[in-house]
A and B are shown apart, each in its own frame.
Chain A
Amino acid sequence: MNILSVENLSRSFGGIKANDNISFDVDQGSILGIIGPNGAGKSTLFDLITGYTKADSGKVKFFEKKIFGLSPDKISNLGVGRTFQKLKPFADQTLLENVMIGAFVNEKNIKKARDKALEIIDFVDLIEKRHHFAKELSTGQRKRLEMARAMAIEPKLLLMDEVTGGVDQKTIPGLVELIKKLKKTGVTIITIEHNINIIMEISDNVLALDQGKSVAFGSPKEIQKNKQVIDSYLGTFDAA
């Protein structure tokens, strides 16, 4: 069953087409990896799906319901969570407070919201840091914070923008394991990644973008063999 359907989504900034007629479907419970060089339109696509940027044309359906044109808070209220490429933690609040703000979406009682937030913080392995201010956490820990905060709204679809971007090599395996663990909870994930090895490891399907256009969509194996993807992004990576 499709959880998300994107049809002919387009958006231009001035004369530049950031997203040009992009279409794809996402199966419920799967992980879709999005790859592409810098400026390919990956983050713009996230902004269009989540309502942060208005599309010029196209359709976005979430569980067959049109979400095109809705404001970001309404889209998130339907069950679409997201993280940001440029991290946006509530810096002057503790990790626990950050996650509680998300937990309040479905919990009115403050004690229940706190306990739910603690369970999610435990899930992302940061329970010992719960009373630390977000600004005191490392980049890797802040990535986990954003994932925990997005999970707290109990999303059915989670969009994660470069989870492993900007973190050190030692931190990456833990974050990858966390994404796999997250998938086991049943949540559908769309993730933007620059690290091609990771995207091939975790994704059920891969969407390749280049200069705002969709150049390929398929399983990781299919993508690795796709000539257009190799030419525009992968180079000689593993394709030989």
Chain B
Amino acid sequence: MESKLLAAKSEPLWNTNNKVISIICGLVILLFSLPLFGLNSFYLHLFIMIFMHAVMAQSWNVIAGFSGQISLGHGAFFGIGAYATSFFYMQYGITPWISIFFGMFISAVFAVLIGIPMLRLSGHYFAIATLLIGISFQVVFQRWDLVGAASGLWVTMTPEDSWLALQFHSSKAPYYYIFLIFFIITFFVVWLLSRSKLGYRLRAVRDDPQAALSLCINVSNYKIIAYVISAMIMAPMGSLFAQYILIIDPDRVFNIEISIIVLLITVLGGIGNVWGPIIGASILIPISEYSRIYLGGTGGAVDLILYGLILMIICIFRPNGLISFIPKHILERKKQK
């Protein structure tokens, strides 16, 4: 028995698969080199949207996948991030590189303020409450003159490309790299989180709050921590998106569709798994963008019908998401008999 214990202790902490690590490194190098191969503007935009939505879904994955709280109003933090950079740049000339952190901070404050009362609710009640919170942000900003009310903010354009102002008019490539770097950093941060003491405790809260309490875990506090982290991941995407399109309004950045799409992406890819949002975004975003190209405007809502169909198929046949297609021996340590 002693030898079995020693053998167990000598096992590596994580099931590191060299092949998987090599594939990841190869993909990262490929992603960094893609613009060098003359990727046209549409494909750069497509990848930017995939990176952005993967990060947004990763944000939702933290609160829903790790701590088990289904938020339907997460678009609020995206909007806060978008307005923070645009407003501070236009009013005070503060570079978006700094105001990104303002957006994160404001989102974190709102996450605490919303989280303290709301996270006492559970299940559907929390979901409905967050849905209403998300909508209320949109309504408030539609009527708030300081931030342009319904017409929103038109970010003052620089005459030339500017890293300081985070504006690039001649090529989308700089945006591509900025979103890519945020995408990699977020993945790495959430990967670390999932393997940390905090990650273990959040999963305990998700799986059984009553049992978690018996293990000295303050369930309410941990839910709020997850909500704050999640909001702080979401906000920079709003900030970068505002700098990318340079015009924001409440209907665009506080739209309920944002909250729904991040949910769909995560569920499609695999909720509670760091790879899930990446897989989900890599499939849903191209469908969305191509349907807009071929059907015009908003895609004739065909993309939404496709989302719905895909989601139904996934929920029926692969409730753990597309990640469950990956052979288990790659994801798990081999079990002993």
Q: With A91-B207, A101-B215, A105-B215 as known contacts, state yes or no: A114 contacts B1, CB within 8 Å.
A: no
Q: With A105-B216, A110-B196, A128-B336 as known contacts, state yes or no: A88 contacts B210, CB within 8 Å.
A: yes
By the criterion of a CB under 8 Å from any partner CB, how many residues of chain B are at the interface? 31
For residue A170, CB closer than 8 A to chain B, the reply is no
Q: Which of B192-208 contact A (CB under 8 A)?
A: 195-197, 200-201, 203-204, 207-208
Q: A122 to chain B: which residues have CB within 8 Å?
A: 1, 4-5, 8
Q: With A90-B207, A110-B13, A127-B1 as known contacts, state yes or no: A52 contacts B213, CB within 8 Å.
A: yes
Would A88 and B208 count as touching, CB distance under 8 A? yes
How far apart sit A237 and B214, CA to CA, in the bound complex (Å)? Answer: 36
How far apart sit A93 and B201, CA to CA, in the bound complex (Å)? Answer: 12
For residue B160, CB closer than 8 A to chain A, the reply is no
Q: Digitize B215-233: 1 where CB-to-A-CB distance is under 8 Å, 0 elsewhere.
A: 1111100000000000000
How far apart sit A131 and B200, CA to CA, in the bound complex (Å)? Answer: 15
Closest-CB distance, A123 to chain B (whole angstroms): 9
* Cross-chain contact of A119 among B5, B13, B203 (Cβ < 8 A): B5
Q: B200 to chain A: which residues have CB within 8 Å?
A: 97, 100-101, 104
Closest to B207 in A: A90
Q: A131 to chain B: which residues have CB within 8 Å?
A: 332-336
How far apart sit A128 and B216, CA to CA, in the bound complex (Å)? Answer: 27
Would A118 and B197 count as touching, CB distance under 8 A? no
Closest-CB distance, B17 to chain A (whole angstroms): 15
Closest to B2 in A: A122
* Cross-chain contact of B214 among A81, A100, A110 (Cβ < 8 A): A81
How far apart sit A82 and B1, CA to CA, in the bound complex (Å)? Answer: 27
Q: A81 to chain B: which residues have CB within 8 Å?
A: 214
Q: Digitize A72-97: 1 where CB-to-B-CB distance is under 8 Å, 0 elsewhere.
A: 11001100011010001111110001
Would B216 and A127 count as touching, CB distance under 8 A? no
Q: B218 to chain A: which residues have CB within 8 Å?
A: 71, 73
Closest-CB distance, B336 to chain A (whole angstroms): 5
For residue A147, CB closer than 8 A to chain B, the reply is no
How far apart sit A129 and B337, CA to CA, in the bound complex (Å)? Answer: 8
Closest-CB distance, A70 to chain B (whole angstroms): 11
Q: B195 to chain A: which residues have CB within 8 Å?
A: 110
How far apart sit A76 and B9, CA to CA, in the bound complex (Å)? Answer: 27
For residue A190, CB closer than 8 A to chain B, the reply is no
Closest to B210 in A: A88
Would B9 and A84 count as touching, CB distance under 8 A? no
For residue A115, CB closer than 8 A to chain B, the reply is yes
Q: Which of A40-78 contact B (CB under 8 A)?
A: 50, 52, 71-73, 76-77
Would A76 and B214 count as touching, CB distance under 8 A? yes
For residue B211, CB closer than 8 A to chain A, the reply is yes
How far apart sit A153 and B201, CA to CA, in the bound complex (Å)? Answer: 13
Would B217 and A73 count as touching, CB distance under 8 A? yes
* Cross-chain contact of B5 among A73, A104, A118 (Cβ < 8 A): A118
Q: A72 to chain B: which residues have CB within 8 Å?
A: 213-214
For residue A184, CB closer than 8 A to chain B, the reply is no
Q: A110 to chain B: which residues have CB within 8 Å?
A: 13, 195-197
Closest to B4 in A: A127
Closest to A122 in B: B5
How far apart sit A160 and B335, CA to CA, in the bound complex (Å)? Answer: 29
Q: A73 to chain B: which residues have CB within 8 Å?
A: 212-213, 216-219
For residue A130, CB closer than 8 A to chain B, the reply is yes
Q: With A91-B207, A104-B200, A110-B195 as known contacts, state yes or no: A118 contacts B215, CB within 8 Å.
A: no
Q: A119 to chain B: which residues have CB within 8 Å?
A: 5
How far apart sit A97 and B197, CA to CA, in the bound complex (Å)? Answer: 11
How far apart sit A93 and B203, CA to CA, in the bound complex (Å)? Answer: 8
Would B213 and A127 count as touching, CB distance under 8 A? no
Which one of A90, A111, A119, A129 has the highest number of Cβ atoms from chain B below 10 Å of its Cβ?
A: A90
24 examples of A-B residue contacts, CB within 8 angstroms: A52-B210, A71-B218, A72-B213, A73-B216, A76-B213, A76-B214, A76-B216, A77-B216, A82-B214, A84-B214, A88-B208, A88-B211, A90-B204, A93-B207, A101-B217, A105-B216, A111-B13, A118-B5, A118-B9, A119-B5, A122-B4, A129-B336, A131-B336, A132-B335
- Contacts A72-B214, A92-B207, A150-B214 known; 15 new A-B pairs at CB < 8 A: A76-B213, A76-B215, A77-B216, A88-B210, A89-B208, A90-B203, A91-B208, A93-B203, A93-B207, A100-B200, A110-B196, A111-B13, A114-B9, A122-B8, A149-B215
Measured CB to CB, the residues of B under 8 A from A are: 1, 4-5, 8-9, 13, 195-197, 200-201, 203-204, 207-208, 210-219, 332-337
